[in-house]
Structure 1
Amino acid sequence: MTDAAPRLAALAETLLGAPLPVRIRAWDGSEAGAPTGPTLVLTNRRALRRMLWKPGELGLARAWVAGDLVVEGDLFELLDRVAGLLWERDPAPGPAGPAPHSRPASAQRARLARAAATLALLRDPAARAAVRDLAALARPWPAPAPPSEEAPRRSGPLHSKVRDRAAISHHYDVGNEFYAHVLGPSMVYSCAYWSPGATLEEAQHDKLDLVCRKLSLAPGARLLDVGCGWGSMVLHAARVYGVRATGITLSREQAAYARKRVAEEGLADRVEIRVQDYRDVKDGPYDAISSIGMAEHVGADRYRDYARTLHALLRPGGRLLNHQIARPPEPDEEAHRIDEFIDAYVFPDGELSPLGSTVGELERAGFEVRDVEALREHYAMTLRAWVDRLEARWDEAVRLTSPGRARVWLLYMAASALGFEHGRLGVNQVLAVRPGAGGDSGLPLRLRTWGA
């Protein structure tokens, strides 16, 4: 029989109440769904078993990482076509008409999807028959083991030092050579700062320089870079601005790579790299602190302590530049865990908060927030540049890690790029100061010159 795809499409359309937005091809060669565009290919029955044993995003992710599910055609277009099913809904109209960007909370979305599916199965004999048919199609029935790239089951209190160290290691200790293939020579793993016609390297240089100018770095100043990655920020600050810089990371592989770069540039007298949790830094005060793409790992319950810790490490009049991914606010929710796929394969225990929550916590810690710059479009461009690099170096990336790990990063970066493009994600640089005597901020009256 060569009818697996039509049977799959029939069930999907019954549960969705709408035509399937993509074309699918099953392991038996059959096809169904949208007549044109990219094709979602189930390479074997195991893909279906993964989705039946773990319905929802995690089952799909496991099938993708294992290679049981692949895409023929433009991955960005396919993800864009299914985005409405995964991330958006039609908002309920309010007194002034529909709210154009209303989104339910992540947990609420899951409840709505389960409720809709349950009602369909209870009320619709055709849906019940389709599910029975699908179960028969997926046989034999043993549950496939998760791909080895999935993060191990975590234990202990959320965002304890031990658990955070394990989560960071899962994400970053996958090989410095692999990251070099994706990120390029800058080795900067955060949003670049683009200008027309810029290359990725130029845009990352400009981002680092923007941070340095916002912090008003000067020769001899002490800089702490929290979550220093492979050392790019501290190297730029020491080389160009003459600061004495300390970079901290929980990744031993990152630290080894950064120390090697420091030695090669002859900056060991001005730059120190530590494997250290930000909660264990005791050698303040610093003149400036940068935290670039690290605060997403802190957690909502710990964020106030994070802000207070950085405030205590700054001298009066010192500045903090907090560069952090955000998501739009949702009703009665301060923060949420990231999607199942990203939690299992990319950023274990990561949490995203709205910009307003972040600013509020910084203010409660004693900071005066002086500037916020949104860089949402810049991150979309950065992610697309990384995807281009990964695809161009695919065979080598697979050799350096595994086929599954390369597929994780490809899906994560492509989906994230669309998230930023469509406003489901944002990223912001928040400049805050620890006020000095008499409330002196030490900032110029016309702030946005950044000393340029």
Structure 2
Amino acid sequence: MVNMSHGRPWLERLFAEADVALNGRRPWDIQVRDERFYPAVLHGGVLAFGESYMAGWWDSDALDELAGHLAAHHVASRARLKPANLLLGIQAVLGNLGAKRRAFKVGEQHYNLGNDLFERMLDQRMTYSCGYWREATTLDQAQEAKLDLVCRKLGLCAGQRVLDLGCGWGSFAKFAAERYGANVVGVTVSREQVEWAREHCQGLPVEVRLQDYRDVEGSFDHVVSIGMFEHVGYKNYESFMKVAERCLTGDGLFLLHTLGRNTSASHTNPWIHKYIFPNGMLPSVAQIGRAAEGRFVMEDWHNFGAYYYNTLVAWFRNFDLHWPEISAKYGPTFYRMWKYYLLSCAGALKAREAQLWQVAFSRHGVPGGYETVR
């Protein structure tokens, strides 16, 4: 007979290092519902930890706080040599997770889940990236503030042509066209996003394409990429920067908005890779710098990663509030998966294990210097 508590002493010690107790009384403590949790996580590491939550083998009254404790004490790094993480690392190094032939997988698996889901979770403009909460009190305000911040950082003027690499549901394109009179071309790998964006941008100078970023041609006054660079992969950062460089006219600006890591890596954690964002990863400052070197002048680097916690919690509250409307379609396992995704990411951002950067680049340097916008 298999001893289901196998691994419990080791896990208790490991979690205790992050001030997390198994079956403790604090909101962030882990309540074990099924003894299979212990051997599964002992042998399966990060992947098994997420999967066992999806299966209902454990709970926590404050998933975001739990994730914050684990992130702050780098507990996940203790599972690096588990089979799933080792295999993903080998694939990332020997292959190319962001290769063109894989470009549409994240669209098919994640962004095509259903617009009914994202309409209930996101703001009214369907903006799936970090909001700017400096003066905002609601998600809608924070997302409009972020979109306006991007336009102001570009110095966007009426009639200018903008390329939006990874346009999502067209929130930036629609905002820039409506508020600033810009002409925008957006590209995405999600057919659901294309359909939604085209419908909601009717009558505006906005073109939305189902297209890989590597296939984009043309000249633009500015280039933006908001929340898409996380899908590029470290082996393709230079290719991405080459596209931005060739599409940007001489005096224009390129605004890169991306999540980021504090250290360089080759892949994301295996649970996120398997269930949420296949083939994605977060870049580091060094990786972005190497890819941009010799192509751009870095004019401004703005970190407002702390605001992503507010954004993720707002998304979860919306999702949780509207769950009864879509529960029959998605099912209880999806609910636990999505809750784990949103709140574990929120905890990592709150612990500052991950960052959110907006980086402004120019081709040759802004004459007289770039005026920082906040």
| Shorter-chain TM-score range | 0.7 to 0.9
2:372 aligns to what SS in structure 1? helix
Q: CA RMSD in A?
A: 3.0
Seen in structure 2, the aligned counterparts of structure 1 residues 368 and 410 have a Cα distance that, compared at 3 Å, is same
Structure 1 residues 317-332: aligned runs within 5 Å:
317-329=251-263
Report the counterpart of residue 376 of structure 1 in structure 2: 305
Separation (CA, whole Å) in 2 of partners of 1:445 and 1:157 = 38
Report the counterpart of residue 128 of structure 2 in structure 1: 189
1:301 matched to 2:300? The reply is no
Structure 1 residues 129-148: aligned runs within 5 Å:
none
Give the letter aligned to residue 258 of structure 2. Answer: Q
1:338 matched to 2:262? The reply is no
Report the counterpart of residue 149 of structure 1 in structure 2: none
Match of 1:291 among 225, 228, 234: 225
Report the counterpart of residue 200 of structure 2 in structure 1: 261
More RCO (CA 8 Å, sep 6+)? 2
Report the counterpart of residue 280 of structure 1 in structure 2: 215
Seen in structure 2, the aligned counterparts of structure 1 residues 201 and 22 have a Cα distance that, compared at 3 Å, is same
Separation (CA, whole Å) in 2 of partners of 1:78 and 1:187 = 28
Give the letter aligned to residue 356 of structure 2. Answer: V
Report the counterpart of residue 289 of structure 2 in structure 1: 359
Give the letter aligned to residue 302 of structure 2. Answer: E
Seen in structure 2, the aligned counterparts of structure 1 residues 447 and 67 have a Cα distance that, compared at 3 Å, is same
1:55 aligns to what SS in structure 2? helix
Report the CA distance between 1:70 and its aligned residue. Answer: 2.9
Structure 1 residues 39-118: aligned runs within 5 Å:
40-44=30-34, 47=37, 50-51=40-41, 54-71=43-60, 73-83=61-71, 86-87=74-75, 106=77, 110-111=80-81
Match of 1:226 among 165, 169, 181: 165
Seen in structure 2, the aligned counterparts of structure 1 residues 398 and 184 have a Cα distance that, compared at 3 Å, is farther
Q: Number of matched residues?
A: 364
Q: Where do 5+ consecutive residues of structure 1 fail to align?
A: 25-33, 89-105, 115-152, 436-440
Report the CA distance between 1:443 and its aligned residue. Answer: 5.3
Report the counterpart of residue 86 of structure 2 in structure 1: none
| Range with greater deviation from structure 2 (422-431 or 408-417) | 408-417
Give the letter aligned to residue 76 of structure 1. Answer: D
Give the greater-gyration-radius structure (CA): 1
Seen in structure 2, the aligned counterparts of structure 1 residues 15 and 382 have a Cα distance that, compared at 3 Å, is closer
2:106 aligns to what SS in structure 1? helix
Report the counterpart of residue 140 of structure 2 in structure 1: 201
Separation (CA, whole Å) in 2 of partners of 1:65 and 1:318 = 46
Q: Where do 5+ consecutive residues of structure 2 fail to align?
A: 84-90
Separation (CA, whole Å) in 1 of partners of 2:332 and 2:25 = 30
Report the CA distance between 1:397 and its aligned residue. Answer: 4.5
Give the TM-score taking structure 2 as reference length. 0.87
Seen in structure 2, the aligned counterparts of structure 1 residues 372 and 82 have a Cα distance that, compared at 3 Å, is closer
Separation (CA, whole Å) in 1 of partners of 2:132 and 2:118 = 19
Give the letter aligned to residue 198 of structure 1. Answer: T
Contact 1:223 1:245 in 2 (8 A): yes
